[in-house]
Amino acid sequence: MKRVIALVLCLGLLAFAGCTGEDEKIDLKGGGGAETVTDGTRAKAIVLLDQAAAFLMKGYNEKDGSLLPAEQGGFAFSTLGLTAIARAPKEVRQKYEKKIAKTAGFIAAGQNADGSFQARKGETNYVTCCAVMALVAFDREKYKTVIAKAQKYIVDSQFIEEALKGRDKVYVGGWDYDPVDKKDPKKGLRVGADMSNVQFAMEALRESGLPKDSPAWKRAVKFLERSQSRSESNDVSAIIADIQPGNDGGFTYSPTESKANGGQPKILANGKKQYISYASMTYAGLRSFIYAYVKKDDPRVVAAVNWIRKNYTLDENAGMGKGLGMKGYYYYIHTFAKAHYTWGETKFKTADGSKHDWRAELVEKLESLKKADGSYINLQDEKWLEGQPFLCTAYVAEALNMAVKSIDEQK
């Protein structure tokens, strides 16, 4: 989540969850039919979604279909708004069908010759991934050529073994904010990769139908391993000797960074650095493993789920540190919902043995946070743009979409 991370997060990171590629359907159903969910939760979610969608469409430009002016990040935010409304249940989406058709055209027209989409320097990966998810959500078939071109761009932007040397090899399989020159990575914006970029890239690739046998998935799993606090599968110490992974099963921002504890790692008795796991990246890691076709009973996946069982909450971005739990809160909320939907345990059992209907609890929480105009805002986190109500509201709409989808699939 660097700089403008939030500006271009779209969700379904993409995050991923909503739709999947046509080559193989991922089993994302919300759980077994033995469990019952009251229609009341769904009805409340639809009310919130309806209000959120109305807010997102307030800035609609009849001329070009954008959802915000260019000076306010119009293109990037339009991808987020389109995804949220296009993935919404029919009773919400149908109200805006004609308008969002124009928004989809606006986004498609922003594709560059190399397959990427309009973006300021430092945002290309996020914006391209969000554009892919938006067009897939609106009409996969109509925009299949545009989507395929963007998919190739995303795959080609992944860090590969041959392009990196020395310490930089910890980033193999990941994605950066902007792609790098494969022959000389130093010509790029920077050499680095992080879980936030990675979860959006993987969501976009899975949604756009990247084949299961693509090497991109295997490479991505290696990056996931190096970002997970699990020494059995994290070999980062073999590349960077002064880093020692933790063992709690959670995820950090990257193999060499965590946003928790103000970005400060633990310094161990042996002098090595250990980066701290936190919730939004752990949820991102969980769903990314599943998108990459890693089985749900795999020890790496189980370790991530166990971290979540111990740290389940809707009150904060757990693990960030004392007084920092609201950092990236709405980003966390949308990743929470997408990951729980993908995992598929409707009554999520936490470490204390209690069971939580994450959908009902999510809807209740979001009801309590809604502003009078249907929007959401996080004034405790301006750094990651959560002081921007459009962004927070788009995140919330995506989270609610996942809750409704889970309920509908359970019936």
pLDDT tens, residue by residue, 343-361? 999 999 999 999 999 999 9
More confidently predicted of 342 and 72: 342
The C-alpha atoms of residue 82 and residue 104 are separated, in whole angstroms, by: 7
Question: What number of residues does the chain have?
Answer: 411
pLDDT tens, residue by residue, 282-304? 999 999 999 999 999 999 999 99
Mean pLDDT, all residues of the chain: 89
Cα-based distances in Å from 294 to 147, 173, 337, 357: 25, 15, 20, 25
Q: Could you state, in order of their start, the residue ranges of all structural domains in the chain?
A: 5-410
- From the number of C-beta atoms within 10 Å of its C-beta (0-12, 13-18, 19+), residue 36 rates as exposed
pLDDT attached to residue 74: 86
pLDDT attached to residue 177: 85
Angle at 91 between CA 86 and CA 95, to 5 degrees: 65
Full-model pTM: 0.90
In a 3-state reduction of DSSP, which class is residue 269?
coil
Q: How many CB atoms lie within 10 A of CB 32?
A: 11
274: which DSSP letter?
E
Categorize the per-residue pLDDT at 186 as very low, low, confident or very high, splitting at 50, 70 and 90: low
**Contact between 397 and 346 (Cβ < 8 Å):** no
The C-alpha atoms of residue 273 and residue 229 are separated, in whole angstroms, by: 12
Which CATH number does 5-410 carry? 1.50.10.20
